[in-house]
């Protein structure tokens, strides 16, 4: 997986790239390299290849948060079926929509754990302070009573560490991941084709196409034959 700054493309397909759009580029030999080969799901619901996901997400994180994103796939073969750019766009958008929802589920679960931890921590803190005051009163005038009260107070505040960590630090990176996935789930996607490595190279590449795309291809191939006859 690489991101060449330029390529000698002979054809393009897919969405137009709006002006002032931050472009993410990937370079693959086959489109199926972008998706997880062992995922048995239908193509539209298939997970992205982990390396491709890491590359795209990592590049997006380096771009300004307010910038609109676009994905350009530099492909080392000629154009295949007419609707392969649409199928690719739908599959990538569906993956990042699912990724955003997964991140929000994680955030909801984290807040649930945080609220439970907060209740436990407050009870533990109150109990520790009360017990410490009781021991200090019971052992009034003794150094041991003061040590016990300070130790219990410290222990009570330590019990608040987990909820404080959740509500101060843990939630916002997950929220940012969800927002980034939302941006990736609506970005325009464009394929830039290079010269074919062989006749009908796309047939060994594209793992799932629509019936409409297959019919258009057959009609395009039969058109010159019918005209000749």
Q: What is the pLDDT of residues 47-105, one digit of tens each?
A: 888 999 999 999 999 999 889 999 999 988 887 778 888 989 999 999 999 999 999 99
- Residue among 164, 12, 20, 127 nearest 73 (CA): 12
- Residue among 88, 116, 79, 93 nearest 203 (CA): 79
User: Pick the residue with more confidence: 196 or 62?
Assistant: 62
pLDDT for position 49: 87
Sign of CA dihedral 187, 208, 102, 59: negative
Predicted TM-score (pTM) of this structure: 0.74
CA atoms of 74 and 163, how far apart (whole Å): 46
**Average pLDDT rounded to a whole number, residues 189-214:** 60
The conformation of residue 77, written as its DSSP 8-state character, comes to S
**Average model confidence (pLDDT) across the chain:** 83
């Amino acid at each position: 997986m690489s991101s060449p700054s330029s390529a000698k493309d002979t054809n393009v397909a897919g969405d137009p790239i709006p002006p002032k759009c931050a472009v993410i580029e990937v370079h693959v030999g086959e489109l199926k390299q972008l998706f997880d080969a062992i995922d048995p799901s239908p193509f539209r619901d298939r997970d992205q290849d982990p390396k491709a996901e890491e590359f795209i997400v990592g590049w997006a994180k380096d771009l300004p948060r307010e910038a609109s994103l676009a994905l350009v796939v530099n492909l080392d073969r000629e154009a295949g079926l007419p609707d392969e750019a649409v199928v690719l766009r739908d599959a990538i958008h569906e993956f990042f929509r699912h990724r955003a929802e997964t991140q929000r589920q994680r955030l909801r679960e984290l807040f649930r754990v945080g609220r439970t931890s907060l209740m436990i921590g407050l009870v533990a803190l109150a109990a520790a302070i009360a017990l410490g005051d009781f021991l200090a009163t019971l052992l009034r005038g003794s150094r041991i009573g003061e040590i016990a009260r300070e130790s219990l107070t410290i222990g009570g505040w330590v019990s608040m560490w987990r909820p404080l960590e959740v509500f101060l630090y843990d939630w916002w990176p997950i929220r940012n991941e969800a927002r980034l996935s939302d941006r990736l789930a609506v970005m325009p996607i464009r394929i830039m084709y290079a010269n074919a490595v062989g006749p009908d190279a796309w047939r060994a590449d594209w793992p799932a196409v629509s019936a409409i795309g297959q019919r258009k291809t057959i009609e395009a191939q039969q058109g010159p034959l019918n005209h000749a006859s």
